[in-house]
Homo-oligomer: A and B are copies of this chain.
Amino acid sequence: MSTSDAADVDRASIERTTAELLAAVNASDADRCSAVWAVRGVLMPPHHPAVPGHQAIVQYFRTLFSRRKFSFTFTSSQIHLVGDTALERVTYRAIIWPGDDAPPIEDVGKGLHVYERQPNGSWKLTHDIWNSDQPVPS
C-alpha cells in the first residue's frame, strides 16, 4: 500500500469515528459516545470543567442526555495526519432541546478533535474541544 493509500485508509477510519460520535450524540446514547474515546481521553466542553477519562466521560454524557437532546451535524472537516496522531478541525451546526418544554435553540460553532491510532488500526478520540460562534446570551 502506498503512503497516500495508507493516508486515505486512515482518513476514512477517522471519518467513521466522527460519524459514530455524531450518531451516538444524536441518539442520546452515552455508552456509544464513550466507545469512540481513548481510555485516557479528555472531553473539554464549553461552560463545564474538563472531563478526564472514559468513566467520567460516560457519566458526563448520561447526565447531559437526561437533561437535553441534540441534533448535531459537522458542516466542515479538515483532517491533518501526523504519524499515529490526527487533528481534525470541524465546524458544526446543532439544534439543542434544552428540556422543560423550552423551545429548541440553534447553535453554530467550531472545534478541534485529536485522535490516536489504536493497535487494531481504528482511531479513537483523545481530545475534543469546541465553542460557539454566537455572542454570549445577554
Contact = CB atoms under 8 A, between A and B. Distances in A.
Contact of A82 (B48, B50, B85, B110): B85
Interface stretch (A8-16, A39-47, A64-72): A39-47
Given A82-B83, A87-B85, A136-B137, A112 B44 contact: yes
A110 B47 CA distance: 10
Nearest to A133: B49
B127 A44 contact: no
A19 interface: no
Counting contact residues on chain A (CB < 8 A from B), the size range is 20 to 34
- The secondary-structure label for the interface of chain A is strand
A135 interface: yes
Nearest to A49: B133
A49 to B, nearest CB: 5
A132 B47 contact: yes
Contacts of A73: none
Contact of A112 (B45, B83, B114, B137): B114
The 3 closest A-B pairs by CB, nearest first: A46-B131, A131-B131, A49-B133
Interface of A: 42, 44-50, 80, 82-85, 87, 89, 91, 110-112, 114, 127, 129-137
15 contacts: A44-B110, A44-B131, A46-B131, A47-B132, A47-B133, A47-B135, A49-B133, A50-B91, A50-B110, A82-B82, A85-B87, A87-B127, A112-B112, A130-B131, A136-B137
